[in-house]
Structure formats: C-alpha cells, structure tokens
A and B are shown apart, each in its own frame.
Chain A
Amino acid sequence: GNSVTQMEGPVTLSEEAFLTINCTYTATGYPSLFWYVQYPGEGLQLLLKATKADDKGSNKGFEATYRKETTSFHLEKGSVQVSDSAVYFCALQGAQKLVFGQGTRLTINP
C-alpha cells in the first residue's frame, strides 16, 4: 500500500540557516505529493504541491521537487525565519485519501 516516511524530528535551527526535511514515499501509480504545515494551535495549511514527476512546488520560499527515480519529495528553504517554526507533514494523494508522514517539528531560534 501507499506510505510516506519523513525524517525524524524535532529539528532545531538558527535563523537564516538552510533547511531540508526529507520525505520518501511508496506508492502504486503516480500520486500527487504535498507538504502541509501546522502552526501552533492551528489546523493544516497547504504549503506546496506537485502533481507529476519533475514538478517543483514552491511557496513562501519553500521548495520541493517530485523525484520519481528516488521516490522523494524533500522540502527545502534557503534561509529560515522564526515564523517558520511549525510541524511539517509530507503527504501523498492516493485513492480518496491523503496518506501522511508522521510529521517533523521544526523550531527556529533567533
């Protein structure tokens, strides 16, 4: 079946550091891939998505590229801010549902 594996957290970085959160997936067919973000006390918000191989999703300085050959969708940002502190979820859209990774808690220190 479909599954998503994210790097273990928590991750703590200093402001302006480079961020990578690894995400790999197992899927039948060609699912769409997503990154969702959950800020403290809030629901999930879509951060970015990619619907086919080699697509790059981007938003708010974050980027992720759909790599079919390595079955990966790693999240990157060149210079993080304190306001990026949140929990990040990688997910794939299968038949009638999203399959989520376990989430990675990110804390950015000033």
Chain B
Amino acid sequence: EAQVTQNPRYLITVTGKKLTVTCSQNMNHEYMSWYRQDPGLGLRQIYYSMNVEVTDKGDVPEGYKVSRKEKRNFPLILESPSPNQTSLYFCASSSWGGITDTQYFGPGTRLTVL
C-alpha cells in the first residue's frame, strides 16, 4: 500500500531534549516536506526537499533541522525543543513538487514540549 509513515505518533518531551521525528514514503517520490498545524493558522511549511541531499527552508524553519540522505526518508530534528514548538506535525511527499502535483500526507505526530 502506498503510504507516508511517521513515528512517533505522539510525543511528550521537555525543553531542550533533542528529538527526531521520522518520516518515510514508499512511493519513490522525489519531493518531501514537513508542515506544522496550529489552531487558526492552518498548515505552514517548515522545510522541504526536492531530492536526496537537496533541502531548503519553508516558511517557519527556525528551531528545526532536516536531512535527506535516502530518497524514502526525511527526518525532522529538533535540537533543543521549546514550548512554542508544541504542535501537530505532518510529513508529505509528491512525485516532483510541481504546481500540478498532489501531495500525500502522513498520519501526523502530536508533539508536546513542557
């Protein structure tokens, strides 16, 4: 089954403790992206990747890092999480990221930073 998977689905952590949220897709997609969802703001892009070893900032990249060493994986790294990063995070992928492309979303990771 074609899908985007994320782990963990739920995470509660404390300020400053480094964490990684994994994302994997099995559709051989070139393009992958991370979004965060906050009430009243919709979803906002954090980082995206057009291909292996090619990443770029989205609208809200501060406090986050990403890497794309393999085509299927695109982990999101919070080196020193803070409470304002408490949010619902979604990974997405699409064939090539073009304007007619459809993005497929993972199930989401709900992060709470205390």
Residues of A whose CB lies within 8 Å of any CB of B are: 4, 29-32, 34, 36, 42-46, 49, 51, 89, 91, 93-98, 100-103
Q: Is the CB of B107 within 8 A of A101?
A: no
How far is B108's CA from A26's CA once the two chains are assembled, in angstroms? Answer: 28
Given A32-B99, A95-B99: A44 and B45 interface contact (C-beta under 8 Å): no
From B40, B48, B100, B102, A97 is in contact (CB under 8 Å) with B48
Residues of chain A within 8 A (CB-CB) of B100 are: 32, 51, 93
Top-10 shortest CB links A-B: A100-B42, A44-B105, A43-B107, A100-B43, A97-B45, A102-B42, A43-B105, A51-B100, A93-B99, A43-B108
How far is B58's CA from A95's CA once the two chains are assembled, in angstroms? Answer: 11
Q: Is the CB of B105 within 8 A of A97?
A: no
Q: Is the CB of B58 within 8 A of A97?
A: yes
Not counting A46-B102, A102-B42, a sample of 4 additional A-B residue pairs whose C-beta atoms are within 8 angstroms of each other reads: A46-B103, A93-B100, A96-B56, A96-B97
Residues of chain B within 8 A (CB-CB) of A95 are: 99
Among A29, A32, A43: residue with most chain B CB under 10 A: A43
Which size class do B's interface residues fall under? 20 to 34
**Contact digits for B81-114, partner A, Cβ 8 Å, 1 yes 0 no:** 0000000001010000111111111111000000
CB distance from A2 to the nearest CB of B (A): 11
How far is B101's CA from A104's CA once the two chains are assembled, in angstroms? Answer: 23
How far is B100's CA from A55's CA once the two chains are assembled, in angstroms? Answer: 13
CB distance from B57 to the nearest CB of A (A): 11
- Chain B residue at minimum C-beta to C-beta distance from A103: B42
Q: Is the CB of B43 within 8 A of A98?
A: yes
Residues of chain B within 8 A (CB-CB) of A49 are: 102
How far is B31's CA from A45's CA once the two chains are assembled, in angstroms? Answer: 17
Residues of chain A within 8 A (CB-CB) of B45 are: 97-98
How far is B101's CA from A32's CA once the two chains are assembled, in angstroms? Answer: 8
Q: Is the CB of A45 within 8 A of B102?
A: no
B76 within 8 A of A: no
Q: Is the CB of B107 within 8 A of A42?
A: yes
